[in-house]
Every structure is written in C-alpha cells, then in structure tokens.
Amino acid sequence: MKAVQCGAILAVGVLAGCGMRTPTLPTRNVPPGVVMFRFTRKVKGPVELTLDGVRVPVSQKIKAGQHLVVKGLAPGRHKYFLMGSKEAFGPDQGEFEVRPGGGLYLVTFSTNFDAVLYGKGEAAPAAEGIPGVQASLEK
C-alpha cells in the first residue's frame, strides 16, 4: 500500500512541475506599494481589472504583455477581479494584502481563447478608476 501512495504522490509532483516555465518568484524587484500579476502566457488584452468593486482602467502600450502592474494602492486588504475578452484567468478573482513598504507578486494562470460571437456586443462604460491607482499591461 505504501508503494502505491508514494507512486501516486510522485506522479502528481511530476505532473504538477511538467511544463512549468513561469517563475514563481519575481525576476525583477517589485517596488513598495506595487502589485504585479505575472501571467503564465502573454495576454493580448484588453484586460478588465476591478479592485474593491471599482473598475480600474488598464493602459496597454504594447501588443501583448505578461505582467499587469498596479501602482498606488493603499496598504491593506483588497479584492480583485480580472476579466478579458480574449483570455481567461485563474484565479480570476481573489484577495491580497498590500503591506506598508512592500510589493506583491502574484502568479496567475492565463490562457487565450477564440470565441465566435454573432452580432455586436454592447460597449462597456468607461472605467471609473480609483484616485492615485494606475494599472498597465507590461512586457
């Protein structure tokens, strides 16, 4: 029985690490007051970000990015929701805590999908934003 359990644990460990190319630690320093979402694949965008129930505009100056950088958040607990018209995220919602004098690095699974939609969807209203908070999709 022990051999079966050990074999199952080993198989799960090998499968979990198989194909894992996204670093779980930041490759660059995360400055204090910054939250960096690291996506497992490049995201083409547009990306919708909601923080504490308020939609935050996400600027995008590049064609596709692997980091969503949020600057200017106040210390404390924050709830987030990520959404994209061409991508799916996992987890797409959750909670994180910004500590005074520290930055935060979150690895987020992302996958691209192409959906065929008939008709034209209703345009979303402009994001309200939170004073002092900026979000951008970066390389």
More confident site: 113 or 14: 113
pLDDT at 22: 63
DSSP, residue by residue, 54-85:
EEE-EEE-SSSEEEEEEE-PPSEEEEEEEEES
CA-based R_g, the chain, Å = 18
Q: Which of 19-28, 58-67, 98-107 has the lowest mean pLDDT?
A: 19-28
For 40-99, the pLDDT digits (tens) are 999 998 999 999 999 999 999 999 999 999 999 999 999 999 998 889 999 999 999 999
Identity (one letter) of the amino acid at 132? Answer: G
Give the confidence band of 7 by pLDDT, cuts at 50, 70, 90: very low
**Which CATH architecture does the domain made up of 22-138 adopt?**
Sandwich (2.60)
In angstroms, rounded to a whole number, what is the distance separating the alpha carbons of residues 130 and 46? 19
